[in-house]
């Protein structure tokens, strides 16, 4: 059965676009990638990178996260008012409350320090996502 993977990003969509590009390269059409942007620009960037479908805004995020197997994005998608206020409290609640597995990259522009997390560049984090827990999710029958 095709796994539904939701990539959530905001602002310019660069993190989400990078994730989608590499996930598509690794898993091709064996997964359905759904791009959810906190804004239309982020969604458009993720769609250009190869997402199967996409939507923007609070309602799209709040509804769609309950229909997917896995959510991937920067850790700030789970923090109310992060990304310069683009992540609403309702979005953060829906993301953290839904039953989907969340794979969150420890990237933040907020004034928060994650202790015990090694700072890695985005390409290294994306490779860890693809070869780590995501591989288990996709290969789980």
Structure tokens at 74: 């920067």
| Distance from C-alpha of 100 to C-alpha of 67, rounded to nearest angstrom | 8
Q: Angle CA(87)–CA(5)–CA(37) in degrees, nearest 5?
A: 30
Q: Are 46 and 9 in contact (CB under 8 A)?
A: yes
Edge-to-edge order in the sheet of strand 53-56 = 53-56, 31-37, 3-9, 70-74, 101-105
Tens-place pLDDT, residues 70-96: 999 999 999 999 999 999 999 999 999
Which is more confidently placed, 105 or 140? 105
Q: Give the model's pLDDT for residue 141.
A: 52
% of residues, the chain, pLDDT over 70: 99
pTM here is: 0.90
Report for 6-10, 109-113, 134-138: range of highest mean pLDDT: 6-10
Domains, in order of start, for the chain: 3-139 (3.40.50.720)
Q: How confident is the model at residue 139 (pLDDT cuts 50, 70, 90)?
A: confident
């Amino acid at each position: 059965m095709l796994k539904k993977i939701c990539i959530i990003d905001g602002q310019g969509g660069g993190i989400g676009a990078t994730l989608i590009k590499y996930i598509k390269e690794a898993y091709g059409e064996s997964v359905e990638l759904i791009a959810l942007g906190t804004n239309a620009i982020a969604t458009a960037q993720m769609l250009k990178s190869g997402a199967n479908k996409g939507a923007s805004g609070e309602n799209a995020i709040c509804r769609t996260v309950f229909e997917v197997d896995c959510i991937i994005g920067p850790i700030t998608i789970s923090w109310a008012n992060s990304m310069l206020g683009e992540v609403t409290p309702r979005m953060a609640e829906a993301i953290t409350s839904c039953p989907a597995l969340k794979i969150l990259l420890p990237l933040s522009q907020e004034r928060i320090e994650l202790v015990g997390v090694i700072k890695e560049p985005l390409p290294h984090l994306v490779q860890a996502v693809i070869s780590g827990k995501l591989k288990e999710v996709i290969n789980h029958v």
